[in-house]
Amino acid sequence: MDITTVCIHGNRKNLDYTGAISVPIYQSATFAHPAVGESTGYDYSRLQNPTREHLENIITDLEQGKGTVAFSTGMAAISALMELFSIGDHLIISDDLYGGTHRLFSLISKKNGIEFDVVNTSKDTDLTKYIRKTTKAIFIETPSNPTMQVTDIKAVAEITKKHNLLLIVDNTFLSPYLQNPILLGADIVVHSGTKFLSGHNDTLAGFLVASTEDILEKLRVISKTTGASLSPFDSWLLIRGIKTLSIRMEKQQENAKIIADWLCRQPKVKKVYYIGLPEHPGYEISKNQSRGFGSMISFEVENEETAKQLLEKVNLILYAESLGGVETLITYPMLQTHSDVPKEERESKGINECFLRLSVGIESADDLIKDLEQALS
C-alpha cells in the first residue's frame, strides 16, 4: 500500500460498529473484565487504549517497524528510551541534537550514571574508535536540529550491527513520509509527534518505533511502568493530523526549496542550511536515504541586529518555538530551543546571535517571501 494511502486509512482494525468514518475516542481510564481471568485486551489506559493502539499501528505501518509506543511528548519518549540503559553504560551521540535531548542527556542521564561520547556523526565516519566495552548504542538525529547535519544511516548501521549495538535515529525532521530509518538498519526510531506528524501545533506527542519484538516488549514495560502514555484525545488528534501528512509534507517541501533559493540570494544572509541545496554537504547522502529534503531551513544573517529585526518585524511568519505545523514559524535557537546548551559548545556549532531556524508551512511561498523581504529591509 502506498504511504499516502497508509496516512489516510492506516490500521484498518474495526473499532466501531456504527459505520463512523472517524476513529472513536475511547475516553476511558479503565475497562471492565468479561469474567475472572479474562480480558477484552484492554484493562487500564496507561497500559493500552484502543484509540492510542490504533495510532501506534498507523505509525508502525508508516515506519515499517515491528511496533510503536506512544508517549505524552517527544521528550517523554526519549526519557523512556534511556531507561533501556544502566549505570556505567556508554552511548555515542551526534553533537548536534535538539536542545531538549541535549539537556536530558547532560542533566539527567549523566546524573544517572550513563556516559556519552559526543561526535559529529555527519563527518566522523570512523565511529569504531569511540566504541568501548560498555558501549550500548549510537544515537543520531538526521537531519539534525538546528544545523541540518546529515548522517549516513546505513553506514552507521553497519557499525552497530558488527558490534552488537543499538542504533537509535531521531526522524522528526523528515517524518516517515520522507525517511524510514528502520529500512536502513536502525533498531529504534524516535519522533516528536508534536511536529510534522500532528502538523497543526495543537497537541504534544512522542513515539518510539521498534524494529523487533524484543525491543518493543522492553519499551512497553518501561512505558506502563513510568506512565507517560499518550491520552486518547491526543491520540485522536494525531490520527487526524496524519491523514494529511503526505500533502502537507509535499507543499512544505516545495515552499522550502523556493525560500531557500531566495535566501541564498539575499545580501543580508551569510549562510543557508537546507539539505535540498546541491551545495549542502549531506545532499548526496540525503538523496540516497530519503525521499525528499523536508521543510526545515536554518540561516545566518549578517549581524545580531538584523536577526532581532527580522524576528520582530515578521507578520505572517510567527516567532515561536516548535516546527512542522501548517503555519510557518521562525525560531531563535540561542534563546529558545538551545538556550540550555553551554555558550561555547553552542557557538562552536554556529548557533550564535545571527543564527535563525525556519519551519516552512503550507502558505503561499510568495507571501512568505514578501514577509521575509519586508522584515529584512
Fill in the DSSP letter of residue 229: B
Active site residue 243: no
Q: If we measure between CA atoms, which residue out of 101, 92, 294 comes closest to residue 190? A: 101
Q: Is 25 exposed, middle or buried (0-12, 13-18, 19+ CB in 10 A)?
A: middle
Catalytic, out of 98, 130, 273, 274: 98
Catalytic, out of 42, 46, 117, 283: 46
CB atoms within 10 A of CB 292: 21
d(CA 363, CA 242): 19
By the 8 A CB rule, do 288 and 155 touch? no
Active site residue 16: no
Fill in the DSSP letter of residue 24: P
Q: Grid cell 505501518 — which residue?
A: 61
Fill in the DSSP letter of residue 177: H
In this structure, what C-alpha cell is assigned to residue 88?
A: 556505567
Catalytic, out of 52, 195, 248, 349: 195
By the 8 A CB rule, do 130 and 95 touch? no
In this structure, what C-alpha cell is assigned to residue 329?
A: 514559524
Sheet containing strand 188-192, edge to edge, reads 67-71, 206-210, 188-192, 166-170, 135-141, 90-94, 115-119
Catalytic, out of 61, 96, 170, 187: 170
Active site residue 371: no
Active site residue 46: yes
* Amino acid residing at 184: L
CB atoms within 10 A of CB 261: 13
Fill in the DSSP letter of residue 107: I
Residues tagged active-site: 46, 98, 170, 195
